[in-house]
Amino acid sequence: MDSVRSERRAAARPFVALKILIAGGFGAGKTTMVGAVSEIPPLRTEELLTEAGVAVDDASGVETKTTTTVALDFGRITFDERLALYLFGTPGQDRFWFFWDDIAHGALGAVVVADPRRLESCFPAVDYFESRGIPFVIAVNCFAGARRYRVEHVTTALDLDEGTPVMLCDARDKSSAKDVLIALVERVRRMSTKDS
């Protein structure tokens, strides 16, 4: 009898889809992170870099990059039949920022992927989420051969508000990317509990 009631209660719960943004500078590892953690083959809108973008896009530090996201990346993580995270990777170049307001609409929170070779490239994403009150965490993508920073140095360099989580991660690694998403969800939960 109790199991029947439990099943009915579970069946009555609505499906919850939580929208998470994966943002950061050009070449930081956003597309890689979405692909690493998504349970479905991710939707990617990558195009080859062209000569037209040379004068517009800052490719310093990522000169070997040959493609770029021109709209968004999309992935999904399903926890059970009632809960899923939808991951939306944003484009990194300045010329695509007009699209961010549309992508950010309804987002629970964001991961800002920071490139340790060019920490300054994630300033626009940090400013964007701070100005809109969207909770975020910083995921420093530890590229092979890149300088290693201590968490407190990244916090200072990015002038982050107190309590903004900074994590060292490998965007290629599913477990590492998952830890970053868990940290974001925990931050959102703490913030919503504090506000209520």
Position 100: which residue type? W
pLDDT band (50, 70, 90) for residue 25: confident
pLDDT at 92: 62
pLDDT at 57: 53
- 141-174: per-residue pLDDT in tens? 997 777 788 899 999 999 998 889 999 999 999 9
**Domain coordinates of the chain in residue numbers?**
13-195
pLDDT at 71: 53
Radius of gyration of the chain, Cα coordinates, nearest whole angstrom: 18
* Contact assessment for residue 65 and residue 27, using Cβ atoms and an 8 Å cutoff: yes
Task: Please tell me the distance from the alpha carbon of residue 89 to that of residue 148, in angstroms, as a whole number.
Answer: 24
pLDDT at 146: 75
pLDDT at 72: 73
Is the domain defined by 13-195 classed in CATH 3.30.460.80?
no
Task: Please tell me the distance from the alpha carbon of residue 27 to that of residue 3, in angstroms, as a whole number.
Answer: 50
Task: Please tell me the distance from the alpha carbon of residue 46 to that of residue 91, in angstroms, as a whole number.
Answer: 9
pLDDT at 171: 93
Picking from 32-41, 48-57, 70-79, which range would have the lowest pLDDT averaged per residue? 48-57
pLDDT at 20: 94
Task: Please tell me the distance from the alpha carbon of residue 50 to that of residue 74, in angstroms, as a whole number.
Answer: 23
Residues counted in the chain: 196
Query: Cα-Cα-Cα-Cα dihedral of 75, 69, 97, 176, to 10°?
Result: 50
The secondary structure element, H or E, covering residue 3 is helix 2-12
- 129-139: per-residue pLDDT in tens? 999 999 999 99
pLDDT at 11: 59
* Contact assessment for residue 165 and residue 189, using Cβ atoms and an 8 Å cutoff: no
**Percentage, residues of the chain above pLDDT 70:** 74
Task: Please tell me the distance from the alpha carbon of residue 127 to that of residue 112, in angstroms, as a whole number.
Answer: 11
Q: Is the pLDDT of residue 187 over 60?
A: yes
